[in-house]
Chains A and B, each alone.
Chain A
Amino acid sequence: MYTKEQKQQLSGILANIADSLDIPESKYKEAESRYKAVGNWLDANDSKLHIYKPTIYPQGSFVLGTMVKPISDDDEYDVDLVCHLEINKDNITQANLKKIVGDRLKENEIYKKMLKERRRCWTLDYANEFHMDILPAIPDYEKLNECILITDKNLRSWQKSNPKGYAYWFVGKMRVIFNQCRTALAESIRANVEDIPEYKVKTPLQKAVQILKRHRDVYFDGKGNKPISIIITTLAAKTYQNEADLFEAITNIISGMTDPKNIKGQGEKYYIPNPTNKEENFADKWNEDANLPKAFLAWLDQLKADMEMAIEQRELSDIKKLLGRILGTRVVGTVFSKLESVRGGSSKSHPPVTFSSQPNRPWAI
């Protein structure tokens, strides 16, 4: 059994770890200005794409606020983008859509050097910063407003997608707590709620997804059958009940994720539908390869055991050791050194500050 204080302490530590795993704000801004520049290039007056009103918008973890620092320093953040052109699908082929976007990118000398073609997208590789996956897309006029069609080199028919709808759905799953977090953040820095940009607010759901993804990355490091992020994110959002406490959110999400009614359909087949398009089954591959669901469930068993062990620890040093093993020693070490310097101070009123070991030496005229 554990006390209320133990739970609060662990939730606080996990929340700090999630913050450290997030993309730093400077990188976020940098990515934003980079993709806006790409958008301007595609829509420039002399661009052949100009008539199709190209727009670029981010999708996936960048929009959901669930990005996770790669475990290796050599890896970079992935930023997923949709490049939307207003073309009717009867007037263009998949291959042609992919080509016209690629051709325009190649007209830029800088982009040309950074460009790689992938199955569904063009990737711009900003060395040491991030990969930007640009997914050419057109509207899906058969469906509602935000639905899009995307290309896939290996498939004959257009693939359906709805990243904006998915983001609305995800945000909807945490709307109550989101507003609470935003108000609390505004109060803590004496600002107006409207002045707090949405990306700055992080709810327990977003933090839980970050902790889950990181645990997965460490657990599956060097192993195959790693579960895809969209499955984790979807199941987490589906089972999240607006818990304000992060540890509680994580434990409830874990039990929800293993509940057969969330991962199976009517029969024995695995079925994790895209909440914005029930025809799309994120667990399609699980029905072809039994190792995938097996690995997913084994991982969650381990995560559950790790969380149960973490909450039983009373000593900070033991929590640090355990979390370091399951979430990475580097990020956990950074978080604890911050915590320790707070506790080391004579009172908690002044924030701990760390700066470079050789700051500038003062001078005078």
Chain B
Amino acid sequence: MELDNNSKRDLLLEHYMQLCETFSGLVLNESKEGGFTISGNLGFTVTHDGKTIEDDYDIEIIIPSDYPNNHPIVREIGNKITRDKDNHVYPSDGTLCLGAPLAVKRTFAQKRNLLWFVTEQVVPFLFSYSYKQKYGVMPFGELRHGGEGILDYYKELFSEKDEWAVLRLLKVLVDDNYKGHTLCPCGSNQKLRHCHGALLREIKKYQDKNGFLCEYGSIFEFLTKNEPNKKCDLDYVPNSILKKMQTKIKFEKTQQ
């Protein structure tokens, strides 16, 4: 869906007004370059497991130029959360790491509006931080850093214990090579379309093959770091990388 600039502005205004009905402390700012941010105080009262936490944070929501195709990013600007990866905040600019990249895109895609984004992604993040400060645990858990966390996310998403099966499934997306009649790479002996097919087709909508390649790469890096002697099966290596490897082998052979 491509919108012209005026309808983009109208849509954003409308989403902002909807957001304000619940979160009244946020102000919409337009920069001279035409970009938008929303900043101010975000207060919430959340009850989880019988415990109620009321808290507020100063935040800045940066609207991407291709909103609502892409989700906004959020910074905590009140210095309430120490900028540390262990707090899931990037040290350089205070950006909140709301979840695994695909998870954030997938949740946003359900409604593609600001109220949904703030309610389902930003508030749970901030609430978790408040909750941890008070009770010492993350109420909904957290992912480990880097490739390890992404791997955990995909294992859960695919309901798959075998990390190499996760890579083989991701390969379909990295190669952008979905064929429903082939056997599912997870090893179930079922056709892809009757197994992980629907899920792959769904998540394919949220990011392009380069996005999946980045995630694939960080998982691969993590796995091989822990298993340096792992026997290398080629069936989980993406075609683009295989091609490069083959050229390299040919090159080396001609050198010999």
Q: Which residues of A line the B interface, CB within 8 A?
A: 25-26, 188-191, 195-196, 341-342, 344-347, 349-356, 358-365
Contacts and interface: CB of A to CB of B under 8 A. Distances in A.
Nearest to A200: B17
B124 interface: yes
B121 A363 contact: no
Contacts of A365: 85, 90, 97, 145-146
Contact of B88 (A26, A341, A354, A364): A364
B37 interface: no
A346 B107 CA distance: 30
A364 B83 CA distance: 12
A114 to B, nearest CB: 22
B75 to A, nearest CB: 14
B22 A360 contact: no
Contact of B111 (A26, A344, A350, A363): A26
B120 A190 contact: no
Contact of A346 (B22, B54, B85, B99): B54
B85 A364 contact: yes
26 contacts: A25-B18, A195-B17, A341-B45, A344-B45, A349-B43, A350-B54, A351-B23, A351-B45, A352-B44, A352-B45, A354-B46, A354-B119, A359-B120, A359-B121, A359-B125, A360-B98, A360-B107, A361-B99, A361-B100, A362-B142, A363-B142, A363-B150, A364-B90, A364-B149, A365-B97, A365-B145
A360 B100 contact: yes
A355 B123 contact: yes
A353 B52 contact: no
Contacts, number: 122
Nearest to A341: B47
Q: Is the interface of A mostly helix, strand, loop or mixed?
A: loop
A342 B46 CA distance: 10
B56 interface: yes
Given A190-B24, A196-B17, A346-B52, 18 more contacts: A25-B18, A26-B111, A341-B52, A344-B47, A346-B54, A350-B55, A351-B23, A352-B45, A353-B127, A354-B119, A360-B99, A360-B100, A361-B140, A362-B99, A362-B125, A363-B145, A363-B153, A364-B86
B54 A359 contact: no
Interface residues of B, number: 50
Contact of B104 (A25, A345, A349, A360): A360
B3 to A, nearest CB: 13
B34 interface: no
Contact of A345 (B18, B52, B141): B52
B21 interface: yes
Nearest to B56: A350
B45 A358 contact: no
Contact of B120 (A342, A344, A356): A356
Contact of A350 (B43, B47, B144): B43
B198 interface: no
Contacts of B56: 350
A359 B107 CA distance: 9
B77 interface: no
B206 to A, nearest CB: 13
B128 interface: yes
Nearest to B85: A364
A340 to B, nearest CB: 9
A362 B143 contact: yes
B38 interface: no
Given A191-B17, A351-B22, A356-B120, A362 B85 contact: no
